[in-house]
Structure 1
Amino acid sequence: MVESNDYDAITVDIPLGLLDNGFRKADIESKIALGPRRSSVFLTPPRSILQQDSYDSANALSRELTGLGLSKQSYALRQKVLEADKLFDDGATLPLFEIHPEVSFMAMGDGPALMSKKTWHGQRDRMTRLGAQGIVIPAEIGVAAEASPDDILDAAAAAWSADRIATGCCGSIPSPPQINERRQRVAIWY
């Protein structure tokens, strides 16, 4: 994790700012904005659901509180989401901002990317969008080359968003950000 706070913006592709009840506007509005890429955003469950010790109890509570079942993928991410939530709670010391790569790519170009980031055309589209912003990923990237190509593109989108946040020319979904029960700004930034 970060050992110093010499950063103006640290962006993470993980939900920051959980709600006690209901779904976050950031997720709902991002799904709408992304159109064909909407499935890349999942609805972040309320905090109490993620705090359940078993998938079965989390799923039952999700059905009770939201009317919807909980995906196993959402539950599998719960530890990371809860860790991020704790950092965000303690977060006056770290400038943490939630991003979503597909929202960032949408903001870079003419609407949402149409092809999956797992396809050649989808990756080329994202590289073109980054290039239009002055970001060119070099052929040699050291140990980062061990990551999947889509993860490298997502990291570049996160860096682009961090720069926009740090320089004050960013946007958010929703705008203005939703304020949760803990008085935190809940938004996906780009």
Structure 2
Amino acid sequence: MDVLGVDACGKQGWVGIRVSDGGYAGSLVDVRLEALIERAGEVSVIAVDMPLGLVERGWRAADLGARVLLGERRSTVFLVAPRAAWLESEYVAAGDRCQELTGQRLSRQAWALAPKLLEARACRLADERIHEVHPELSFRALAGGVPPAFAKKTWRGQNTRRALLAAAGVVLPDELGEADRVPADDVLDAAAAAWSADRIARGVAERVPEIPELDAEGRAVEIRY
């Protein structure tokens, strides 16, 4: 059983980690998510670290629930604005629309996700294999329900996460091939996404919230892990 975990990685586009029967099976890097998925070939599940389902008003229950689960690591979860905000062409207008629909303005950090968020949503609407994940929820599950204490950009945080993945059977080699030049934290996030994709494929993945909202297309607004 082959699955794919994907994370956005700045100007390089997207990094994918493939897992086969629970173990590492290679990496892919591509500027476009659609192209990366096409190159991955036959995989049963694709887990992407990017908001996919958007609500019409208010903040997503998925993000609020993820923040509760992550405790001190809750700042790693952005609050995702309603769908109408992402349809605006520039930040001020998006912030105004977010204020109208949630009572708060959209952060610049969240707005910076707009191009890749819209790209990933387009892929999701065309491909039912795609699911939304959040790596820190995956690492929390890997660690037995306790989020790693150190951030993934730190030496301690990266080694902790690599060890957690290895203990679960996803052993990342020193030489990854295409992903060798991708920042380590993005590789780790893609690998965590792949671990969650494997759980989704086997029918054992958890979700937040337990009863998801539905987006305008009738799809679940949820984070799997």
Q: In the alignment, what sits opposite 2:161?
A: 126
Q: How does 1:116-155 map to 2 (within 5 A)?
A: 116-155=151-190
Residue number among 167, 186, 189 corresponding to 2:221 in the alignment = 186
In the alignment, structure 1 residue 109 sits paired with structure 2 residue 143: yes
The CA distance in 1 between the partners of 2:118 and 2:107, in whole Å, is: 16
Q: In the alignment, what sits opposite 2:134?
A: 100
Is the deviation greater in 79-88 or in 31-40? 79-88
**What's the TM-score, normalizing by structure 1?**
0.92
In the alignment, structure 1 residue 166 sits paired with structure 2 residue 166: no
**What's the TM-score, normalizing by structure 2?**
0.79
Is the deviation greater in 4-13 or in 73-82? 4-13
| 1:150 Cα deviation from its structure 2 partner | 0.9
Is the deviation greater in 172-181 or in 23-32? 172-181
Q: RMSD of the alignment, in Å?
A: 1.6
Q: Is the 8 A contact 1:17 1:88 kept in 2?
A: no
Point out the structure with the larger strand share. 2
The CA distance in 2 between the partners of 1:5 and 1:138, in whole Å, is: 22
| 1:177 Cα deviation from its structure 2 partner | 2.7
Give the percent of matched residue pairs that are identical in Structure 1 and Structure 2: 44
Q: How does 1:1-190 map to 2 (within 5 A)?
A: 1=34, 2-3=37-38, 6-91=42-127, 94-110=128-144, 111-190=146-225
Unaligned runs of 5+ in 2: 1-33
Q: In the alignment, what sits opposite 2:3?
A: none
The CA distance in 1 between the partners of 2:51 and 2:224, in whole Å, is: 11
| Structure 1 runs (4+) greater than 6 angstroms displaced | none
Aligned length: 188
